Amino acid sequence: MRERFSFRRLPKRLAGFSFRSRRTRALAICCALFCLCGILSAQAYRHRAATTAAAVDNWGLSFQKEGQPPVGNASSEYLAGFDACYLGDTGQPVIYLTFDAGYENGHTAKILDTLKAHDAPAAFFLVGHYVSTQPELVRRMVAEGHTVGNHTNTHPDMSRIADRAAFEKELGELERLFQEATGQPMSKLYRPPQGKFSEANLRMAKEMGYKTYFWSLAYVDWYTDNQPTHEQAFAKLIPRIHNGAILLLHSTSSTNAEILDELLSRYEEMGYHFGSLQELANPGRAGP
């Protein structure tokens, strides 16, 4: 028969030191369990937080030194695993111009004129409303050597779309509209609306043959009724420019249309030239 364990059988010094009474023993056990639960809870919280951060995020940048590329809240190495990036070749004085557009308010023609004058290619990330209501401008973009990328059909928060069919519909419907407007297939370049993404989204875009492009420089230019002054725009866009920059501007901005010629001239004076995002996506291949 197994002998019952008893604290009384412990050496007197040990028993006296740690287990003077049943109440003390119970208190010690409760404290130990409480501490253990706290440790496990903290570890579980950190795990959930890390999982959430990896699963869904808003694109963000940290500028740490003037003239140097910023640090993204997802690393270049991590993004590369999903055919995604936010920087070009940081060893070259090259800038990739990109414009996001959800609708047309009269500034795109002037922007296109300026790009043509500087022989600067750009990528326009458009939504369904723009393509269906402005087919002439879309055709002009293509004819003048610019790339039209996929900014989704309805500009939703794509990080909330976990269903593969719904994700494919957002991108596929825009592909159809672009084909109807231009007679050409759409380039497989994708930019998540508002920079909201999830790992699942990045994976689905890659599986659809898309390369996802964030940005390494932007500023608050999208409030059409509260536009920055020229000085405010230059204060953001000049000191923070860097090699391999993917610059995001909105074509609905009157300030952007007004400053673009001077902005590109100042970049050129600083030794930069303008590269094609399409060529960055497909080295050695020009055009859509």
> Which residues are catalytically annotated?
100, 250
| 244 half-sphere exposure, CB direction, 13 A CA radius | 15
State how far Cα 115 lies from the chain centre.
25
Q: Are 101 and 148 in contact (CB under 8 A)?
A: no
CA neighbor of 218 nearest in space, from 187, 250, 262, 186: 250
Q: Which tokens in the block code for residue 192?
A: 């998540």
Residue linked to tokens 């100042």: 266
Q: Are 170 and 161 in contact (CB under 8 A)?
A: yes
The CA distance from 232 to 229, in Å, is 5
